[in-house]
Amino acid sequence: MASKPVYRTVFDIPREEYFAPGHGLCAGCAAGVIMKILTKVAGPNTIIVNATGCVEVATTMFPYTSWKVPWLHVAFENAAAAASGVEAAIKVLKRKGVIDPNKRINVVVVAGDGGTYDIGFQALSGMLERGHNVMYVLYDNEAYMNTGIQRSGGTPKYAWTTTTPVGKVWKGEWRPKKPIADIVAAHRIPYVATASPSHVIDMMNKFRKGLDIEGPTFIHVLQPCTTGWRFDPRYGITIARLAVLTGMWILWEMEHGEFRVTVPVPKRKPVREYLKLQGRFRHLSEEQIEEIQRMVDEEVERINKLVGRTVIGPVEE
């Protein structure tokens, strides 16, 4: 049985702030919203283990920091390994009586798509396999953004990046996005979910469950990137919402093996609505847009089959 959601309306958003403003994230970057909400849900007894990436470089410019909770910067590739060590150390300190054994301390990884799909995958898989009590938050901006928009395993098909350029021969990324949340779920961990900063209450409930459920948990959050996706900064959250409403980003959770879509979409918008606001898709031909639409239709069909009824509806023109 799925556990009950804790947060229901915006009035349930905790007032306390543990992620301070004044950081260097781009205007319109959704990562700031995600970190603010994450730390509000997690509260003060939290240790953040942050892989190298935009969030790390932009929130900790010496001598300042946005983090009002303990925060570790680790290498690009080993956030999950470092978090495993932090969690193991807490266990030992509790056993030795140095820390109150009843005190709840959250260990949370914050890592980008490059640090998760690609270079950090081995450490992540090991952490899941060993069963550490860590929540892993993947903020997915679909490329290596802080080093200059290079493609990652999370880059979607036909997206422009600096390493999948658009010209006579290349038409952007030619491989589909790797289904990382499915791959993580295949480790049979107790909780996996997708989330979007456009659906804050849904995202908060998923962070809450991720923290409360014992064992490794994984929250995959879509993070629109104004610089790399090439959109007007005011559209960050609009684009995240369109990802959900077009079926490009389905909001689901898998709790102890039970799969649920948490935000049904009775009538879908065409994927074109999502693509057209982003310069990284400006070069797309009609055929390419149709192919992306077909890929989304197939994924929607797969999800509906998994649920056993139509939770994501047909496209409404």
Ligand X SMILES: Cc1ncc(C[n+]2csc(CCOP(=O)(O)OP(=O)(O)O)c2C)c(N)n1
- Residues near ligand X (CB under 6 A) are 52-55, 76-77, 112-115, 141, 144-147, 152
Which of Mg ion, ligand X, none does 77 bind, CB closer than 5 to 8 A by kind?
ligand X
Which of Mg ion, ligand X, none does 147 bind, CB closer than 5 to 8 A by kind?
ligand X
The least CB distance from residue 58 to ligand X, in Å, is 9
What number of other Cβ atoms are within 10 A of residue 88's Cβ?
Answer: 14
| Distance of alpha carbon 196 from alpha carbon 22, whole angstroms | 23
Nearer CB in complex with Mg ion: 150/288: 150
Summarize as ranges the residues that interact with Mg ion (CB under 5 A).
112-113, 141, 145
Residue at shortest CB range from ligand X: 112
Placement of tokens 């065409």 in the chain: 270
Q: Are strands 135-140 and 217-222 parallel, antiparallel or unpaired?
A: parallel
The least CB distance from residue 178 to ligand X, in Å, is 13
The least CB distance from residue 79 to ligand X, in Å, is 9
Decide if 266 contacts 315 (C-beta within 8 A).
Answer: no
| Distance of alpha carbon 247 from alpha carbon 132, whole angstroms | 32
Residue at shortest CB range from Mg ion: 112
Q: Are strands 258-261 and 252-255 parallel, antiparallel or unpaired?
A: antiparallel
E strand intervals along 256-301: 258-261
Which of Mg ion, ligand X, none does 216 bind, CB closer than 5 to 8 A by kind?
none
Amino acid at 255: E
The least CB distance from residue 54 to ligand X, in Å, is 3
Which of Mg ion, ligand X, none does 161 bind, CB closer than 5 to 8 A by kind?
none
The least CB distance from residue 114 to ligand X, in Å, is 3
Nearer CB in complex with Mg ion: 48/55: 55
Nearer CB in complex with Mg ion: 30/127: 30
Instruction: Please report the DSSP string for 209-232 in residue order.
Output: HHHHSSS-EEEEEE---HHHHT--
Nearer CB in complex with ligand X: 7/71: 71
Nearer CB in complex with ligand X: 18/121: 121
φ/ψ of residue 21, rounded to 5: -75, 175
Nearer CB in complex with ligand X: 145/204: 145
The least CB distance from residue 146 to Mg ion, in Å, is 8
Nearer CB in complex with Mg ion: 44/148: 148
Which of Mg ion, ligand X, none does 202 bind, CB closer than 5 to 8 A by kind?
none
The least CB distance from residue 115 to Mg ion, in Å, is 8
Which of Mg ion, ligand X, none does 76 bind, CB closer than 5 to 8 A by kind?
ligand X
3-state secondary structure 129-153: HHCCCCEEEEEECCCECCCCCECCC
C-alpha distances in Å from residue 152, one per residue of 66, 81, 166: 27, 21, 16
| Distance of alpha carbon 107 from alpha carbon 207, whole angstroms | 12
